[in-house]
């Protein structure tokens, strides 16, 4: 068992700090506190940039949560452990996760939910344990993102928000399973439970949408339709299993009508991966009556309310939400990592850029311009 946190001290490291919404990240020397009770401090090895990092960095909705360190899709090595931690030891390889699994609350205990009541999505820029930060610059608190903040050479996370992984797993690729890619796989396999021979339509062919495509292909879907107004994504989509493409800008009729004609009455499953509530309604209209299911994975930037005609539900269609693909981090992620190790799933094609930490702003610019899927930030030289 590792030495407790009382042996750990405050350390200084480099972190990418956002001092204000949309401002270029500044590489700063930050102080990182030792882990508190039930926390661990990790040396971050790789962290992939997620669309939500960019969205929240640009957002002016919570200006009080700056300065802030973003990043949450990370792999790393345990550097020290806090009091009460028995699951991890110094030197363990881990994935960070933006929602935890305490394994004791009502939802965790049910086995039917990944909405942990103790370690749910953290929105206040602090740690779950005591509602304070673990980062500072000359005494000034630096806020967290999703209680992870992996765009720092070292980060403190709750032990319930980390998953131990094999030391044989490549850190620079396995970090993708911390959020977006895993969310797409889970939406197909756990939430929708897509069946062999079914028809699938995907709205949005970013990282999440393409992971939905790969998962649907592995399930044996007979038709996988991709909907996106960026034609550059169509060729990429073919390698993930997309069989047909629709560019809304090229259509002279409503998208649901196009899809119903292509699928003989509507898709068996549709997945909204854009983060647009209008697309949720379009996706549901594109489903088959009686058994069609729409799963929404995107997080809207604006207009969070969904508007539907009641007839869409009266006809027997189903609308389901999906957070992290329904995966319970500690219970389910190790098996997903093993699928990658066994070459049952592929992560390499999601990585369009490998970038050193000093050039992290390049990754943000690529994401803003729609020129990447996942940029992997290599934290250590």
Q: Give the pLDDT of residue 188.
A: 98
What residues in the chain have per-residue pLDDT under 70?
1-7, 381
Edge-to-edge order in the sheet of strand 140-142: 11-17, 26-32, 135-137, 140-142
Residue 30 half-sphere exposure, CB side, CA atoms within 13 Å?
31
Q: What is the pTM of this model?
A: 0.95
- What is the pLDDT, as a whole number, of residue 280? 96
Helix pair angle (207-218, 232-240), 10° resolution: 30
Q: What is the per-residue pLDDT for 5?
A: 45
Backbone phi, psi, residue 284, to 5°: -70, -40
Q: What does the pLDDT read at residue 353?
A: 98
**What pLDDT is stored for residue 1 in this prediction?**
46
Cα dist. 336→148, 175, 322 in Å? 21, 12, 17
């Amino acid at each position: 068992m590792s030495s407790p946190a009382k042996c750990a001290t405050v350390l200084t490291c480099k972190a990418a700090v956002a001092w204000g919404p949309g401002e270029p990240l500044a590489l700063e020397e930050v102080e990182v506190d030792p882990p508190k009770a039930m926390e661990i401090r990790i040396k971050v090895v790789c962290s992939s940039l997620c669309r939500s990092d960019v969205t929240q960095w640009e957002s002016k909705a919570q200006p009080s949560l700056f300065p802030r360190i973003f990043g949450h899709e990370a792999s790393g090595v345990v550097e020290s452990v806090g009091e009460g931690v028995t699951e991890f030891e110094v030197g363990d390889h881990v994935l960070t996760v933006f929602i935890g699994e305490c394994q004791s609350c009502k939802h965790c205990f049910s086995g039917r939910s990944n909405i942990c009541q103790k370690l749910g999505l953290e929105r206040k820029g602090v740690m779950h344990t005591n509602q304070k930060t673990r980062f500072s610059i000359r005494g000034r608190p630096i806020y967290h993102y999703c209680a992870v903040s992996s765009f720092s050479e070292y980060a403190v996370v709750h032990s319930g928000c980390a998953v131990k992984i094999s030391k044989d797993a490549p850190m620079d690729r396995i970090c993708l399973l911390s959020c977006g890619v895993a969310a797409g796989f889970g939406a197909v396999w756990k939430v929708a439970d897509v069946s062999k021979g079914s028809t699938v339509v995907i709205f949005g062919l970013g990282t999440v949408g393409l992971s939905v495509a790969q998962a649907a292909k592995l399930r044996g879907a007979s038709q996988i339709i991709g909907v996106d107004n960026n034609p550059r994504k169509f060729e990429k989509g073919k390698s993930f299993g997309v069989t047909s493409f629709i560019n809304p800008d090229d259509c002279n009729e409503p998208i649901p009508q196009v899809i119903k004609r292509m699928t003989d009455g509507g898709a068996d499953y549709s997945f909204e991966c854009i983060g647009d509530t209008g697309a949720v309604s379009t996706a549901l209209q594109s489903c088959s009556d009686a058994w069609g299911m729409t799963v929404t994975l995107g997080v809207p930037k604006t207009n969070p309310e969904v508007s539907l005609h009641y007839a869409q539900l009266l006809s027997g269609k189903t609308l389901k939400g999906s957070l992290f693909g329904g995966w319970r981090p500690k219970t389910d992620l190790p098996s997903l990592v093993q699928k990658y190790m066994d070459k049952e799933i592929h992560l390499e094609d999601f990585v369009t850029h490998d970038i050193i930490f000093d050039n992290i702003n390049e990754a943000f610019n690529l994401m803003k311009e729609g020129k990447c899927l996942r940029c992997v930030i290599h934290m250590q030289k």
